[in-house]
Structure 1
């Protein structure tokens, strides 16, 4: 009776571990970028429900937006990334930015993010 071996070899296990390790490392670099983008979207939604936001000037709206981001430790969004444009029923607020994180040697992970929210009178979309 011949018995055959089953299972993974040590070399196969090391290669599998290396591949999984690379994906985990990439996740560690990209998850904070998406977490920050979620904070931006949440700040925009909170601002849209703020009563009387359309009665304020664009500079004050930006200030309120950055106060909400300060709580979430969102450091990659700067003043030049935020645009507030007057619309017929209020404002259109656009946040567009890019995040670049080093990955391995000269390779970078780049994330481009864009979020828009219409700020209307009465705070309802």
Structure 2
């Protein structure tokens, strides 16, 4: 009686392992970019909840924002990426930046991030 074996061959196992490895490599390259974006969002929200931020001047708001980012080791946001505009009852702060990381050879992963927060007397919404 002949018995058929079922399962993966060594070649199919190596292919699947390669695909999983490549996906893990891409995830390791993307994770720090999104971790930094989360740090920007939480810094904006924390700054919006700070007492008296609606009455501060824009230079002071930027200084406090970059202090919060330095605690999170965020290095991709530059002062030119931060815009603060007057709005009714306070300020509107926008952070738009781009992160470029090498992936393989001459291929890069590019992330465009945009975060916005109102700095009013009511705090973060």
TM-score by shorter chain over 0.5: yes
Q: Distance in 1 between matches of 2:10 and 2:51?
A: 63
Q: Deviations over 1:26-78 (max 9, x none)?
A: 00000000000000000000000001011110010000000000000000000
Please list the CA deviations of residues 3-35 of structure 1 after superposition, one character each: whole Å capped at 9, or x if unmatched. 001111111011101101110000000000000
Report the CA distance between 1:88 and its aligned residue.
Answer: 1.1
* Counterpart mapping for 1:1-125 below 5 A: 1-125=1-125
What is the distance in 2 between the residues matched to 1:91 and 1:14?
Answer: 55
On the 8 A contact 1:96/1:114 being kept in 2, the answer is yes
Distance, in Å, in 1 between the alignment partners of 2:124 and 2:5 is 66
TM-score by length of structure 1 reads 0.97
Distance across 2 between alignment mates of 1:58 and 1:112: 24
Contact 1:52/1:123 (<8 A) preserved: no
SS at match of 1:111: strand
Shift, 1:121, TM fit: 1.6
**CA separation in 2, counterparts of 1:3 and 1:32?**
50
Q: Which runs of 5+ in 1 are unaligned?
A: none
- Normalised to the residue count of structure 2, the TM-score between the two structures is 0.97
The offset of 1:124, in angstroms, is: 4.7
CA drift at 1:123: 2.5
1:123 is paired with a residue whose SS is: coil
